[in-house]
Amino acid sequence: MERGYYMKEIIHVVEKLVNKPSPTGYTTQIMKWVQGYIENLDYTVEKTNKGSVLFKLAGKSSSSARLLTAHVDTLGAMVREVKADGRLKLNRVGGFTWNAVENEGCSIHTRDGRTYRGTILMHQSSVHVYAKSGTIDRSDEHIEVRIDEKTTSKDQTSALGISVGDVVSFDARFEHTASGFIKSRHLDDKLSVALLLSLAKKVKDESLSLPVDTYIYISNNEEIGYGGNSSIPSNVSEYLAVDMGALGDGQASNEYTVSICAKDGSGPYHYELTSHLISLAKEHDIPHAVDIYPYYASDASAAVKAGADVKHALCGAGIESSHAYERTHEDSMNATYRLLEKYILSPLV
């Protein structure tokens, strides 16, 4: 399969995914879309009680298996308070800073199914009124949602059906540039979901022969720490989390290679399995970087902490400005896709 074909499919899927609101805890609709995509490929889907989906790419052997996972849940917020002036105070869902979403468009999703538009702002946004607007702490106390409805009181906002506990999702602002960059919120980790779904499509389209049963697990609670830590088939011995490579000062990863994580904030990943990924990248001339992410954890580390007896590893595309307005390049997506393909075709470690 030519790069142009599968890259087009990956980009198509990731654009669909990032534009579907799915903060952790609010993933039912996007999981229905994911399930439909999988079933259209003629795979049998298993749903977990927590809302994740699992399906199998049949291999030559079932005695021992591998599992690849990515998560569809994203950062977001919940309404913490309806203020006296009708605006909303928020409580964060997932780890991000308020400055990362200041002035971002958002949607408020009520419990009865209504959706309203708004903007996340500092209360003291107007520089013509607040002399210290630029230096006031971006915190829960100062950030609010300006709702795009005629409301200037708590009663008027409540009459819209908006209340404490309603979910707030952030606009993705997806863009695919002529130079090959993908810019969007929620590339963490919807890009990896797109990679795995497209990989499953290639296995089906080309009747690829896998050495062992290979499970794909799309989780929906990773951003709060426990997305893929249960419902792991008993014959799984290798667990690969496909998640973003974090970029910044002191990091080896970049936007043009696949990032292979040796250690993150949870500790080292399985040495032999990580070494296997590195060897595959070298053997097949796949651009890669080995890295350490100091403020990071994954579904693989969550599974191990929960007691799963698996060899765990982590790799993914390099994502610039993680948990903000993220960006990567087609080259990184291609390198990650190639490594995943080589991995599922390789023997178990």
Can you tell me the distance from the alpha carbon of 64 to that of 62, in angstroms, rounded to the nearest whole number? 5
In sequence order, the β-bridge partners of residue 47 are: 53
How much is the pLDDT for 2? 55
**C-beta separation of 48 from 231 below 8 A:** yes
How much is the pLDDT for 59? 98
DSSP letters, 298-336, are -HHHHHHHTT---EEEEEEEEEBSTTSSEEEEHHHHHHH
Q: Which residues contact 100 (CB under 8 A, 6 or more apart)?
A: 323, 324, 325
**C-beta separation of 242 from 194 below 8 A:** no
Q: Which of the 8 DSSP states describes residue 18?
A: H
**C-beta separation of 240 from 343 below 8 A:** yes
Can you tell me the distance from the alpha carbon of 282 to that of 284, in angstroms, rounded to the nearest whole number? 6
Q: Give the angle subtended at the CA of 192 by the CAs of 186 and 195, to the nearest 5°.
A: 130
Q: How much is the pTM?
A: 0.96
Q: Give the angle subtended at the CA of 194 by the CAs of 188 and 200, to the nearest 5°.
A: 140
What angle, rounded to 10 degrees, do the helices at 3-18 and 330-344 form?
A: 110
How much is the pLDDT for 144? 98
How much is the pLDDT for 6? 87
Element (H, E) at 245: strand 245-246
**C-beta separation of 95 from 45 below 8 A:** no
Torsion of CA 150, 113, 14, 317, to 10 degrees: 90
Ranges of H-type helices in the chain: 3-18, 28-40, 154-159, 187-206, 271-283, 299-305, 330-344
Q: Which residue's entry shows tokens 């919807």? A: 190
How much is the pLDDT for 1? 43
Indicate which residue of 144, 222, 255, 320 is catalytic: 222
Q: Which residue spans within 135-184 are E strands per DSSP?
A: 143-147, 167-170, 175-176, 181-184
How much is the pLDDT for 48? 96
Structure tokens at 109: 């999703």
- Residue 216, sorted as left (phi over 0), alpha (psi -120 to 50) or beta, turns out to be beta
144 catalytic residue (yes or no)? no
Domains of the chain, first to last: 3-74+186-344 (3.40.630.10), 76-170 (2.40.30.40)
Those residues of the chain that have pLDDT short of 50 are 1
Neighbours of 278 (CB within 10 A): 18
